[in-house]
Structure 1
Amino acid sequence: MKFSAYSDIKAVFIAIVAGVILAGASAFAKTVDKTLALVNNEAIMLSEFDKLAGPMLDSFRLRGAEMTAEEKEKIRKRILDDMIDKKLLAQEAKKQRIAVTRREIEQGIDQVKKRFRSEDDFRDELKNQDLTVKAYEDRIRQDLMVMRLIKNNVEAAVERPTEKEAAELFEKIKKVDAEKIAKDDKATDDDKEFAFIARLLAREAQEKVHARHILLIVDKNAPQKEKLEALTKIRDIRKRITDRKSFEEMARLYSEDPGTKDRGGDLGYFTRGDMVPEFDKVAFSLDVGKISDPIFTDFGYHIIYIEGKRAGRELALDDVKNDLLDFLTQKKATKKYEEYLSSLRKKANIKINPF
């Protein structure tokens, strides 16, 4: 269990920027360009800004979220602030002559390429963004330099929290009313963070099941013949497993769930309510080592194998101490990072033009 999902170090923004080739769509490439900000005489152009801001604002619209002009302005300001911070960090990394190896750059690019179906798709996206391979390598190099700068100047300065601090946080979280905070418009960021952790602790304390499954995808509105063919096939797969074939091996061969197929159908541990009701009911009723009969959900036909179970329990400090220590470390790192950025901003000459 990790608590970092709510309070991430802002440096993650830096770490992934190189991987988002490309957050922008080519539709933004034809923006009438102008200088949006100057950071120590280095320009941030409107076209660069639009490549980040455009898709983000579009994602809100696609989810049907109505944003006020004030909310849009806040998002745009945050994006520009992040771009300024990234520019300052890149300048400081260059000033400190931070070096990265050719091998590190290649590894960074390889990580990005994994998001594409082929090398051609990757190069097509570079072309769509008017980027040469060399220009993209330079971007990767700069982002790796910034990551190393942060490691040297921020992470190295963070003190590991004590077990006493973890114990105090544990006691504080036990008293948090997460539901009340969720309804409180005046709740502080710390309140919301504690509520988030309290919900995770409550979830961790619940009964859990560790299951594997094999899925044959069938639309719930498919013709009866198609459903019967899938049911016949999954019954045959189940019989082969009961005849001493490995569930894990059969999942790799036949499951159509792309998220678990390569892991032998492994879903890990989950609590009640994590899965669709039909799946949930069967998984929690089976004994360890047992295989379910085929069940039908909105996804298709499944068979389920139970790897293990954990009874619900009251959590003790030792159950979550390491996670709490990691959380406190991250909080301290976030504070150090913000202090470091603040020091760079104070020394910088920053000019922002109207949008």
Structure 2
Amino acid sequence: MLAAACGTAAAAAKTKMEDTVAVVNGTPILLSEYQKEASTALDYWSKTNPAAMADPVNARKIRENTLEELITRELLVQEGQKLKLKVREREIENAVDEIKARFKKDETGRLLTEAQADETFQRQLQNEGLDFGRFRERLSRQILARKVIDEQVKARTAPAAEKEVRDYFEKIKSYIASKSTEAPKGLDEEEGLALREAAAQVKTMSSERVRVYRILIRVSASATDNERKRALKTAAEIKRRLDGGEEFTKVAKEESEEPESAARGGDIGYVLRGVAPPELEKAVFSMGVGEISAPIATEVGYHIVRVTEKRADETPDFDRFKDDLANFLGNVSFQKRLESFVQGLREKSVIERHLPTTP
């Protein structure tokens, strides 16, 4: 009987261990939560960068990063509890309302009825394996973690001084002028990446560019001639509607087959030379402001574009970029402090990891 009891206890312990992926100061992180988070991350990267995801090493890194993010969240929640920070009911209700508001429109930007929006919201909860109570509990924990960050990190991060911003701007100008693709000497990897990111933004906003709105009628690579003709006919009909006076943003929301930009009325932002498909680039840089193109054929389909703004190359000006750069440097400083703070929590915690081989 004793052997049987020991066997039962061992089996229970094994089952319990198999249900967790980590234990943080005695608090388990459940396998089910990890699987949902990892699946979401893997789906996202599979859609946005399928070539990289073909390498199993990258998939494994995403799984490992997912686990570390869950551990960080738990550490922040535990720190909030130690600090006796409170999450008020009103804060949870506001967070619920904010999330529910995201379901008021469908993927094309069409406004849903209240009943339709609630149905979509409830379906999303079901997909995540949550009831409303667990959903509120998750929000409460997220709010508590955010309060720890705000109080212990953000409030202690000083804004960038103007001299620091000006010096950084001069580094950016020198880097752009050098036409180098390598980080400047004297910077570590993280600092180099930050400088290159800032330089890319400054260069983009100082280069010749065109603000473009687009309606896209997709054509698959395997489309037949008849399918291509039908797509062109659809695009031509849309152009006739626009020529007849219909508002471009309205038609884009109704007809464009690119949901993300359709939701913005067709706005795809600024187009720079050497970035867009050649057929599209040639058209938009030759058009005048306010002009609407005839259907433009590319490998993904037919584009009808409207140019709303054109800017020539210009020398980067400090006054134009100083506020954005101050915010950028402030965020870099905040991220460094946050990483240091979380590392401190990790060093004084007991963390066990039981990452499975598959999510």
The reply to whether TM is greater than 0.5 is yes
Query: Quick one: which amino acid aligns to residue 67 of structure 1?
Result: V
Supply the distance in 2 between the matched residues of 1:180 and 1:251 (Cα, whole angstroms): 38
Return the alpha-carbon distance in structure 1 between the equivalents of residues 295 and 250 of structure 2.
18
Mapped partners of 2:22, 2:262: distance in 1: 48
Aligned 1:164-243 pairs, distance under 5 A = 164-176=163-175, 179-181=180-182, 188-219=189-220, 221-243=222-244
- Range with greater deviation from structure 2 (305-314 or 88-97): 88-97
Is the Cα–Cα contact under 8 Å of residues 211 and 267 in structure 1 kept in the other structure?
Answer: yes
Q: Indicate the RMSD between aligned Cα atoms, in angstroms.
A: 3.5
CA distance change for structure 1 residues 254 and 86 in 2, over 3 Å: closer, same or farther? closer
Deviation, structure 1 residue 161: 1.0
Deviation at 1:37, TM superposition (A): 4.4
Equivalent in the alignment of 1:92: 79
**SS at structure 2 position matched to 1:215:** strand
Q: Partners of 1:54 and 1:206 in 2: how far apart?
A: 39
1:22 alignment counterpart: none
Tell me, yes or no, if structure 1 residue 65 matches structure 2 residue 83.
no
CA distance in 2, matches of 1:54, 1:259: 22
8 Å contact 1:100–1:145 — kept in the other structure? yes
The 8 Å contact of residues 181 and 187 in structure 1, kept in 2 or not, is answered as no
Q: Which residue of 2 aligns with 1:40?
A: 25
Q: CA deviation at 1:141?
A: 0.6
Q: Is the 8 A contact 2:211 2:310 kept in 1?
A: yes
The residue number in structure 2 matching 1:299 is 300
Instruction: Write the letter of the residue equivalent to 1:39.
Output: V
Q: 1:282 offset after TM fit, Å?
A: 0.5
State the Cα distance separating 1:320 from its structure 2 match. 1.5
- State the alpha-carbon separation in 1 of the partners of residues 353 and 228 from structure 2: 61
CA apart distance, 1:160: 1.2
- Distance in structure 2 (CA, Å) of the matches to 1:31 and 1:252: 50
The residue identity in structure 1 corresponding to 2:174 is K
- CA, structure 1 residues 224+36, in 2 after alignment: closer, same or farther (shift >3 Å)? closer
1:245 alignment partner in structure 2: 246
The one-character-per-residue Cα deviations of 1:318-341 (angstroms, maximum 9, x if unpaired) are: 221111101111122123223433
1:108 paired residue among 85, 88, 95: 95
Closer, same or farther in 2 for the Cα pair 1:235/1:87, shift >3 Å? closer
**Equivalent position SS for 1:260:** helix
- Specify the SS of the correspondent of 1:131: coil
Distance 1:353 1:66, change over 3 A: closer
- Kept in 2, the 8 Å contact 1:178–1:195? The answer is no
- Tell me if structure 1 keeps the 8 A contact 2:23–2:29: yes
Asked if the contact 1:93–1:149 (Cα under 8 Å) also holds between the matched residues in 2, the reply is: yes
Does 1:82 pair with 2:69? yes
Give the CA deviation at 1:262. 3.5
Alignment CA distance shift 1:144-1:281 (3 Å): same
Residues 96 and 178 (structure 1), Cα distance of their counterparts in 2 relative to 1, 3 Å cut: farther
What is the CA distance between 1:57 and its match in structure 2? 6.5
Identity of aligned residues (%): 31
Q: Which residue of 1 aligns with 2:142?
A: 143
CA distance in 2, matches of 1:213, 1:293: 11
TM-score by length of structure 1 reads 0.75
Q: Give the unaligned 5+ runs of structure 1.
A: 1-29
- Unmatched 5+ residue regions in structure 2? 1-14, 107-116
Residues 208 and 309 in structure 1, CA contact (< 8 A), matched pair in contact too: yes
Letter in 1 for 2:352: I
Q: Which residue of 1 aligns with 2:332?
A: 331
Moved more, 101-110 or 131-140: 101-110
> Which amino acid is 2:87 matched to?
V
SS of the counterpart of 1:204?
Answer: helix
Query: Which stretch shows the higher mean deviation, 202-211 or 296-305?
Result: 296-305
Q: Is the CA contact 2:217–2:302 (under 8 Å) kept in the aligned structure 1?
A: yes
The one-letter amino acid of 2:216's match is L
How many residue pairs get aligned? The number is 321
How far apart, in 2, do the equivalents of 1:38 and 1:32 lie?
A: 9
- 2:342 paired with 1:341: yes
Structure 1 residue 307 displacement after superposition: 0.9
Displacement of 1:100 in angstroms is 3.0
Indicate the SS of the match to 2:205.
helix
CA contact (8 A) 1:294 1:303 kept: yes
User: Normalising to structure 2: TM-score of the pair?
Assistant: 0.74
Taking a change above 3 Å as real, the CA distance of residues 107 and 300 of structure 1, as seen in their structure-2 partners, is farther
- Contact kept in structure 2, 1:207 and 1:311, CA below 8 Å: yes
In structure 1, what is the equivalent of residue 352 of structure 2?
A: 352
Q: Amino acid of the residue matched to residue 294 of structure 1? A: P
Q: Deviations over 1:57-96 (max 9, x none)?
A: 785796211429xx94x66665444333322210121233
Report the 3-state secondary structure (helix = DSSP H, G, I; strand = E; otherwise coil) of the residue aligned with 1:267. Answer: strand
Determine the C-alpha separation between the residues in 1 that align with 2:241 and 2:42. 50
Aligned to 1:282: 283
Q: 1:351 to 1:149 in 2, by over 3 A?
A: closer
Are the aligned partners of 1:31 and 1:47 in contact in 2 as well (CA < 8 Å)?
no
Distance 1:353 1:65, change over 3 A: closer
